[in-house]
Amino acid sequence: MTIGELQKLNILEVVNAGEEPERELKGVFCCDLLSVAMGRGQEDAVWVTVMGNINTLAVMSLTDMACIVLAEGAVMDEAGMTKARQQGIPVFRTENPIFETALLLYRWIKEGNGAAVTENTGAEV
Amino acid sequence: MSDTIELKYEVSTEDFTRAGEASSDVKKKLRQMGVPPEAIRKVAIAMYEGEINMVIHANGGTITVLIDSECIDMTLQDRGPGIPDIEKAMQAGYSTAPDNVRNLGFGAGMGLPNMKKYSDEMKVETELGVGTRVNMKVFIPE
Ligand SMILES: Nc1ncnc2c1ncn2[C@@H]1O[C@H](COP(=O)(O)OP(=O)(O)O)[C@@H](O)[C@H]1O
Ligand SMILES: [Mg+2]
């Protein structure tokens, strides 16, 4: 699944669309601690986190992760928004919990269908 | 490519939002030079952690990066308080980061372990009250 296709699914709110809609997503990564993300974040992964600041964006681009999904209703702060726009970094958000969000994305990315997750967890998407 | 390229960066503590700029710039330049992605990733991780430590634990400083066809050599020299017990500081999870820094996602105590893991060689010299000098090397595979 590409970033553009993820956007079209309409399961996440688009904060900043970014400039690479054709970039292929290959996995999902979860952790809010930047050093852990730095060491373990995989190339082309979607990073589901609650940390919406400029440092998240720096770690994301240094590790070559593909986009950020802010879960649990987290928001990107103002400096982060400016940087995301300047550098064309894709950022999405959702009110749903991290686990459900990551599972849903995993199903879509790895299996091409996340509909069952929505039913089982009752997540409003 | 037999010449050595030198890059120099001032790391200041005043603007927290700029932390990581030096590492990002080095990453970009290594890409342009055609350095293999795995070596770039190692440099980016090791250098970012070092850069962040200069910002949150020391009072900033300078980073010098030397690049030739075989090796990326990074030296991070800060003007901070020094590290009283390096062995302890190297332990995964050990951190003296204050709350305001932790709230931003730093302070996992994984910085120095990451630097050790992702560099091929690492040397830390530190003097209390004077500063810390970290040298890391990443070798470029043939
Ligand atoms: N450049 C430095 N100057 C002074 N102290 C440092 C420096 N780098 C690391 N330290 C000390 O070592 C500890 C561990 O560092 P690190 O593994 O990067 O974890 P963290 O940065 O998350 O605290 C820090 O909390 C700090 O006490
Ligand atoms: Mg650190």
Neighbours of ion ligand 2 (CB under 5 A): B 53, 111
* Domain extent at residue B122: 5-139
Q: What is the CATH number of the domain that holds B22?
A: 3.30.565.10
How many structural domains is chain A composed of?
A: 1
Decide if pLDDT at A123 tops 90: no
List pocket residues of ligand 1, CB cut-off 6 Å.
Answer: A 35; B 49, 53-54, 57-58, 78, 80-81, 83, 89, 94-97, 106-113, 132
pTM: 0.89
Angle at CA of residue B106, ends B48 and B104, nearest 5°: 115
Average pLDDT, rounded, for chain A: 92
Tokens 């400096």 correspond to: A79
Smallest Cβ–Cβ distance between A38 and the set B19, B45, B104 belongs to B45
pLDDT in tens, A49-62: 999 999 999 999 99
pLDDT in tens, B63-82: 999 999 999 999 999 999 99
pLDDT in tens, B9-53: 999 886 677 788 899 999 999 999 999 999 999 999 999 999 999
Q: What is the CATH number of the domain that holds A60?
A: 3.40.1390.20
In B, minimum Cα distance to A38 occurs at: B45
pLDDT in tens, B111-131: 999 999 999 999 999 999 999
In A, minimum Cα distance to B110 occurs at: A35
